[in-house]
């Protein structure tokens, strides 16, 4: 089999519904460890029950008052974030080495897919220098991003706040930033389900992925 046979194919979204965080994380690691150069890339869309996750270098002091929400130390990048019902979480299981993407441009392209997804609901998202994720011009964060890269393959991914209880974000310093405000799409008038938002992201990311496959980035 040609090891590059699936490189041009857009990753397929699997909507998994409500899933506990730790078993999903375990499954991502198992998938990544077992994959071969010919394994098709995948996107997993989920909602999680309430959970705080700390990145690999996450500082526990950024969890101000967890209340009854569990705190999980993970192996992704970034500091602390919150996952809960009404948030679309999309995990990106990608072989970026096969696709000739560097980590920084992978993050930028994921962010671009989020910006395009939000635009479908007339929400203008933007990047913030030095702070991965997507924000509004008024400063609120609407999407968080954190990846793990192992052997040229990624797991973990991106979370988009769709229609959720935002209060738990007040119990942490989101992404390590004291006082950072968060917002969801519903607060901006958007009517969407988490599955719809995950599907839109998959379409936008797939278009970016295939466009890059036609004219791959060349690196020194």
Q: What digits encode the pLDDT tens for the residues 165-215?
A: 999 999 999 999 999 999 999 999 999 999 999 999 999 999 999 888 744
Within a domain: residue 2? no
Give yes or no: 153 in active site. no
Within a domain: residue 182? yes
- Of the residues 175, 183, 199, 200, only one is catalytic, namely 175
The domain spanning residue 173 has which CATH number? 3.30.930.10
Within a domain: residue 178? yes
Within a domain: residue 5? no
Phi, psi dihedrals of residue 119, rounded to the nearest 5°: -60, -25
What range does the domain containing 134 cover? Answer: 12-214
From 15, 148, 187, 190, select the one nearest 89 (Cα to Cα): 15
Q: How many domains does the chain have?
A: 1
Q: Is 88 exposed, middle or buried (0-12, 13-18, 19+ CB in 10 A)?
A: buried
Quickly count: other Cβ atoms within 10 Å of residue 148's Cβ.
19
- Give 101's pLDDT tier (boundaries 50, 70, 90): very high
Report if pTM > 0.85.
Answer: yes
């Amino acid at each position: 089999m040609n090891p590059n046979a699936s490189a041009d194919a857009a990753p397929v979204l699997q909507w998994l519904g409500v899933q506990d965080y730790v078993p999903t994380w375990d499954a991502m690691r198992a998938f990544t460890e077992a994959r071969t150069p010919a394994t098709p890339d995948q996107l997993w869309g989920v909602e999680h029950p309430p959970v705080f996750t700390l990145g690999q270098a996450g500082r526990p002091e950024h969890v101000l008052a967890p209340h009854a929400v569990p705190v999980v130390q993970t192996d992704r990048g970034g500091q602390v974030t919150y996952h809960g019902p009404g948030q679309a979480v999309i995990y990106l299981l990608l072989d970026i080495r096969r696709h000739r993407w560097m980590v920084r441009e992978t993050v930028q392209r994921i962010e671009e897919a989020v910006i395009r997804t939000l635009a479908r609901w007339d929400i203008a998202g933007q990047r913030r220098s030095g702070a991965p994720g997507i924000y509004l011009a008024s400063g609120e964060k609407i999407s968080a991003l954190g990846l793990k890269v192992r052997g040229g393959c990624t797991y973990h991914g991106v979370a988009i706040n769709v229609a959720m209880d935002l209060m738990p974000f007040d119990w942490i310093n989101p992404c390590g930033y004291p006082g950072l405000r968060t917002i969801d799409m519903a607060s901006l008038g958007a009517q969407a389900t988490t599955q719809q938002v995950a599907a839109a992201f998959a379409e936008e990311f797939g278009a970016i992925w295939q466009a890059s496959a036609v004219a791959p980035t060349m690196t020194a």
